[in-house]
Structure 1
Amino acid sequence: MVSRPAEFVFEQTISFVLARTSTAFRNSLEKSMATIGLHAGQAFVLIELWKRNGLRQIDIASQLNLSAPTVSKMIKGLIEINLIRIQKEDNDARSSRVFLTEKGLAIRAEVETQWHELEEYTLGDLNETERLILFELLSKLRNTYTGRDQEEDE
């Protein structure tokens, strides 16, 4: 546990540094995805569909740990740029599934390129051991907030 100094200095806490780092990374991810016409959140929806095409919106929201309205807005944007389509269930008109279009499948290579470039920019100063340690530590923190292990998402 981090000891608390006599005069509390927010900037000297891990939570502060993590929050600032997260914001900076998210901004970089947003800029990177914008070069191919996406928002950062939309990339995460596509990643889920590349793993398992035909998910329900509620399943995507659950996997991303986001609210249904937030995911609905991202899906609407992806439909507008013809990367995904919605298909109603034959046996349940209330339920629908989200499918990638050909364009949605094809954009994966561009997303991967941007992702790799951002990954190298972000971790360029770290050696392989530091990268592995950082991955493990961030995964543990993520699990604290989501209540699930990384393996559950794969």
Structure 2
Amino acid sequence: MTQSTPEAGQSPVEKGQDATVPLPAAAGGGPVSHAIFRLARLHRMFAGQLLRRIGLHPGQELVMMHLWELGPQRQTDLVRLMDSDAATMTRTVRRLEQAGFVRRRPSPTDRRASLIEPTTASHALRREVEQVWTHLEDLSAAGLSPDERTAALHTLERLEQNLVRAAAEAAEGAGVDGEG
């Protein structure tokens, strides 16, 4: 198997690689983490380019996907669902509202809360978002066989589970000794 990341201190060109950012010597102990960083950066860049064409920014389409699927949601539920923070979600919802893709309405069960719901205009956007995600998937997984796609997805899910577990353990530790 060939190495997917150049040796620390060498450029990708020297090793015959296509990596966009060479592995710095200081990151030599974390080549998988460095590869995740590079992949996430490129994925977000391409997503941004594709989404800009339909009037969205990265992350906004995920909020819309959840609203289309689940229907109206309280903003606090969107924060939890998206594993976001309140300030980020407030900005996202405000921008989606200004673009005409969501509206707020009072919650029938909680006078302190409002529900965020997709507008009719956003439903027309749904097909375009689906096409963007299909195109992004095609770009990301180009040249992979169905078995390789399945293996890549399994590996990514495992990496995510590892980090979720580590975050939970860190939160438990912070709660026990009072430090963060």
Aligned residues: 142
Q: Indicate the residue corresponding to 1:46 in structure 2.
A: 64
Please state which structure has a larger fraction of its residues in helix. Answer: 1
Greater shift in the superposed pair: 82-91 or 27-36: 82-91
The structure with higher relative contact order (CA 8 Å, sep 6+) is 1
Q: Indicate the residue corresponding to 2:132 in structure 1.
A: 114
Task: Specify the SS of the correspondent of 1:40.
Answer: coil
Residue 31, structure 1, aligned to residue 49, structure 2: yes
The 5-angstrom pairing of residues 1-154 of structure 1 reads 9=25, 10=27, 13-146=31-164
Larger-gyration structure (1/2): 2
Could you say if the C-alpha distance between residues 104 and 146 of structure 1 is closer, same or farther in structure 2, counting changes exceeding 3 Å?
farther
- Residue 104 of structure 1, CA deviation: 1.1
TM-score normalised by the chain length of structure 1: 0.85
- Residue 111 of structure 1, CA deviation: 0.6
Task: Specify the SS of the correspondent of 1:87.
Answer: strand
RMSD of the TM alignment (CA)? 2.0
Gapped regions of structure 2 (runs ≥ 5): 1-23, 166-180
Q: Indicate the residue corresponding to 1:152 in structure 2.
A: none
Q: Are 1:65 and 1:146, in contact at CA under 8 Å, matched by a contact in 2? A: no
Amino acid at match of 1:81: A
TM-score normalised by the chain length of structure 2: 0.73
Amino acid at match of 1:45: V
Q: Indicate the residue corresponding to 1:4 in structure 2.
A: none
Give the share of equivalent positions with the same residue, in percent: 26
**After the TM superposition, which segments of 4 or more aligned residues of structure 1 sit over 4 Å from their partners?**
none
Q: Deviations over 1:81-128 (max 9, x none)?
A: 111111111342211111110011111001111111111011112111
